Structures are given as C-alpha cells and as structure tokens.
Amino acid sequence: MKKNVKELSGSIKKNDTIIIDIDTVTENGDGIGRAEDGKVVFCFGALPDETVSCRIIKVTSGYYIGKLQEIIKHSERSGRIEPSCDVFYKCGGCVFCHADYNAQLEFKDAHVHDCIKRIGGINDYEKEPVMPSPLTEHYRNKSIYQFAENEFKGNSESKKGNLLCGFYRRNSHDVVSCDNCIIEDSVAKEIREAFCKTAEAFNYTAYNEDTDRGLLKRLMVRTSLKNRNGVAVAVINGEKLPREKEFTESLVKACDSKLCGFYINVHKNRNNNVMTDDFRLVYGDAVLKDNIGPAEFNISPQSFYQVNPLQTERLYEKAFEYASLKDGEALVDFFCGIGTIGIYFAKRATEQGIKLRSLLGIEYTERAVKDAAVNAELNGVSHISNFLAGDAEKVLGKIAEEVEKSKPDVMVVDPPRKGLTENLIKSVAFCKPSRVVYVSCNPATLARDLKVFAAEGYKTEKVCAVDMFPGSGHCETVVKMSRLELER
C-alpha cells in the first residue's frame, strides 16, 4: 500500500484515502470498486481493470463516494486515454472522454444487456453487435449553454469579457467555459460565439440564480445537418432584449447566413426549468428544416429530435428492419413527437414498394401532433396518417377496442426515460399487434418493461444497442418483440 494512503483499521471516514480495484463503471462515469469493509465505492474517472487511490468525500450507510487521487495500476483493457477536451474533469457534459471509443462501446453494450438479463430476467434473445456512431466528435445538433458573469474580466485572452458561456460544472451550477467543446456542432459553435460577442457589445448581463438579477439565462442552438444552418433561442429573465431589433440585426450579420431563425423564450420564473412555453419568434424561420434519410422534417424549438443526426438514421433503419412491414399493414407509433419514426417507416416502406394501410401516431402535446401532421404532408404520407394528442395510456384506452378491430400489425414505442406504465403495456397487448418495436433511452426501464411484455405474451427476439452519444454514458436500444399465442 502506498505510504500516502492511510492504513485503515477501523471504519472508513470522510477524507480517508483508500485503494480500490475497479471492477466496472456506471453510465455516469463512476468507477465501481469495494472498500475493505465490503461497501461499494463510486469514484468518477476510474475505469475497469484499474487500481486507484481515492479520497472519501461522502459516507452513507450503504456506499462511499470517492474522489480520484491517483491511478496506481491500469491495463490496456481499461482503454484509458488522455481526454481531448481540456475541461473534461470539470464540465458535466461528458463522462467518458478519458476512455477510447472501443472501451466506451464495450461499457455501454455490457450495461444494456446486463439490465435486460438482471432486471428483466430475459436471456433467450439474439444479441446484435453494438452499433458505433459514424462521428464521435462534433455530432450534436442541439446544445443548451448556460450564462454566468465572468469573474476573470479581461485577465487573459481566453477569459476576457463579462459573459461566461458554457455548461454546468459536474454536480453544481457553476458554469464552465466551453470554448472548445468536442461534441458541439461547428455551426452551433459559430452561432454561440456570434451571440456572445454581440451580447457583450450590447452590455447584456448574465442571470444570477442567487440574486434573481441579470438578463441572459441560457442559449439553445439547434442545427440542421442537411442545410448547415441553425435556430437559436435566447432564454431571458425579461419580456424582451434591450434594443432588441438592433441586437438581432447585429446578430444575424455576425452569423453570416448560418442563423435561419431566432427566438426569445421569456423565463422570469425563479426555478431550474430550462425553458418556459413562452416563445416569441424575433427573426427568420419558425422551424428548422432537416432530413433523416429520405424523410424531411420541420422542427420547432421545443420539439423532441434526436441529437446525433447521422446515427439517428441508422437507429431508425434498425427499428424499421425489426418492424418487418408488409403490404396492407397498420402501424401505430407511440410517443411519436413530431412524427419522426412513423413517418420514416412510411417513407422507407414506400421506397421498397410496400403500401401501408394506416399510420396512427400518439403524442402528449398538441403542438407536436400539429407538427407531425405537417411533416406527414411534407413527406407525402398524410393520406394514411392520423395523429392524436394526449397521454398515451388514456388515448389508447379510449380507442383500444377500435384499434383492436382494425388489427394493428406493428406498434413502435419510443418513451421518455421513465419508460412505459404497466397499464399501457397491457393496452398494447390487448390490441394484439404481431410485432412490437421498442426504442429506449434507458436500459433499466426498458428491461423492466420487457418483463411485463413477456407476461403479456410477447417474446424479446432481438436487441441492438445503438451509441447515439459518444463521450457520454447514455445509449439507445432497439428491441424487436413478437407476439406468442398463449393459452388464456
């Protein structure tokens, strides 16, 4: 044991430094090992197959949290590399920049299938190879930046000016500058830099959470891979920007044709909500236009849209493959958002000479449903499409008998991280689709739901982990289920 590490004869206390072997890693980037008393230790920055020393910064009845002090031993299997991001250990945006990409894929794939087997109790299925992202850097088409007052006003070239723009420091609301973010789209970077430079010139202030004073809370930029332009949303503590028209003209000029739309989001509430529903278009187009494969989409600022455009096409193509659509079949798309998956399926089916009978999309918000209808028209599939707004469980409950009579053949679900309710799964099973395709962003809730689907007569046939978020711990998963004829 290292001389600078305390010999522990009794219980481990806060600020003790201990040595642990790292066995695995969480999706949040915390290496997991065990202390000499048997308790689990979480240590951010430590990787599997490493021996590290860490200082205990939190003690609970069931586990410890440690801060990495030194890497004592590591193997090639850990995949450790020097992070290409110079603020990786400060910024809360990414968690795996210190691991090479193959190691990241291994971590994520293992996590997905461990959840399915351990939580879902499902072992008999075809495990497809994890799908790597075509881009591992500068892939994000959506970024949300935080503002703060710069404490270093003019002390160095890299930190001059009054505004600090970046992301929250890990486990805090301190803002870390993101001048060289490695996952930010290059167009978003241009728009962000132009916005900050223009805001400085107009002497705009950053919002302060403690005092509830200041103007700029955050900036969201969404970009189009196809058109290489973007829409910006300034979230402000006020009704409008000072000299708003003049500022907008300066911003548009500074963006040099990269900015196709600019919104103000009025957010005078003292809470941590990223935005409110109060959007006001100040300049340009109300929607961003982009493509996923052959399908075109109009995207509103508040719409859900996958952040990795190249990988999204591959994700949807895998889901389309699992759907195995045929002539005359009916498709139901739950949590359809602006219609991306269902419309993509319909468009791809048309390309392959498959004529679907119908497409039904269900989404919670009325605005998203209206956008979905527009997108269906845009893609020439409106004649078979219908989109309904409301809670998926309640909407399906109301129309379940009607849907069952129309014999839907395929249902695709793409829920938020909390997954599906048991009642919704039972409603899906009541409609008796022959295939269910589940697209998930949370392996734990996916596994829980697959267990319920199994009890309702649906067999998990294929599973494919899809890395949509290189550098982070998040992973999408596509699952194919088929209905079994059960004796009732």
| Residues acting as catalytic residues | 441
Q: What share of the chain is helix, strand, coil (3-state, %, to 5)?
A: 25, 30, 40
Kindly state the tokens that stand for 115. 């959840």
Per-residue DSSP letter, 86: T
Q: Identify the helix (H) or strand (E) that includes residue 460.
A: strand 458-466
Per-residue DSSP letter, 6: P
The span from the CA of 359 to the CA of 357, in Å, is 7
CB of 470 closer than 8 Å to CB of 133? yes
The span from the CA of 112 to the CA of 468, in Å, is 13
Distance of CA 330 to the CA centre of its chain: 29
Beta bridge partners of 216: 206, 236
What DSSP string describes 247-274? Answer: HHHHHHHHHTT-EEEEEEEE--SSS--S
3-class DSSP state of 172: coil
Kindly state the tokens that stand for 383. 């004649």
CB of 119 closer than 8 Å to CB of 460? no
In this structure, which amino acid lies at residue 248?
A: T
Alpha helices in 207-324 (DSSP H): 244-255, 309-323
3-class DSSP state of 351: helix
Kindly state the tokens that stand for 186. 């290059």
